[in-house]
Amino acid sequence: MRPLHAVPTGEMEQYPLTVEDRLDSHYFMAWERRRWLNSDMRLRGTPECRALFFDLINIAYDQAPVGTLPNDLELLARLLMVDHSHFQQLCRLEYGPLHKWYPVMCGSEIRLAHPMVLRSLQDAIARREDNRAKNEAANAAKRLQRLRITVSGYHKDLAANDAAVRWIDEWLQKEGCEYRSASWLERAISAWADHSFMLAGKGPGGTVSRLS
């Protein structure tokens, strides 16, 4: 293995993504078309270098950590399916296939990263987390609504109490309830009764009929 850059590891930045940060469900990548069309790499690089540069970006999306490349010219040449010696010559060009790729620390390993690739990945991960949060919020709202309807069959006033319904929902989740059967709901309502009377300083043992 031949290192691509002789840079002291103490001077390298730590890559912000880890092997746990994956985008396996993404079969596409965001591409800033106008930025690319006006970039120095496209305007000054040879057609061959531009093609290999683009291939390396695609390859990086399937690497671990995502968005990085091996710090080895021979391995990169094999990944690109090009002659190693020829690839080395191209990389000596100012606008070669590794234009603006730079060494970073990935844990204890030195790999290569590119600012544009990293930015697009961070945006994609942020969007994924936003979508996940929205889905979780929507699922929670549906779960609470179903619970409210079920609780109303036991006690209408209790079902109208938002704090009570949320407390019961949290209690069921903490208890590991996977299927909210009648027995689970009755236990949860009883737990809320004890909790509400404890808050009121009356001690446990309250009945459902007193939760109005």
> Each residue of 14-43: pLDDT tens digit?
999 988 777 665 567 778 889 999 999 999
Contact indicator for 31, 119 with CB cutoff of 8 Å? no
Average pLDDT over residues 165-179: 90
| pLDDT score for 32 | 85
| pLDDT score for 212 | 44
Cα 139 to Cα 32: distance, rounded to the nearest angstrom = 33
Which segment of 11-20, 81-90, 201-210 scores lowest on mean pLDDT? Answer: 201-210
Q: Quote the pTM value.
A: 0.61
Contact indicator for 31, 61 with CB cutoff of 8 Å? no
Tokens of 42: 């496209």
| pLDDT score for 1 | 38
Name 25's Cβ contacts closer than 8 Å, sequence gap at least 6: none
Helix segments in 61-161, DSSP class H: 73-80, 84-91, 115-152, 156-159
Which band of pLDDT confidence, cut at 50, 70 and 90, is reported for residue 208? very low
Average pLDDT over residues 84-104: 97
| Long-range pairs, 174-181, Cβ under 8 A, ≥24 | 180/147, 180/150
| pLDDT score for 4 | 52
For 131-162, write each residue's pLDDT tens digit.
777 888 888 889 889 999 988 988 888 989 99
Cα first-last separation, the chain: 74
Cα 3 to the center of its chain, rounded Å: 30
163 has a pLDDT exceeding 70: yes
Which band of pLDDT confidence, cut at 50, 70 and 90, is reported for residue 3? very low
Cα 97 to Cα 204: distance, rounded to the nearest angstrom = 72
How large is the C-alpha radius of gyration of the chain? Answer: 29
For 37-73, write each residue's pLDDT tens digit.
999 999 999 999 999 999 999 999 999 999 999 999 9
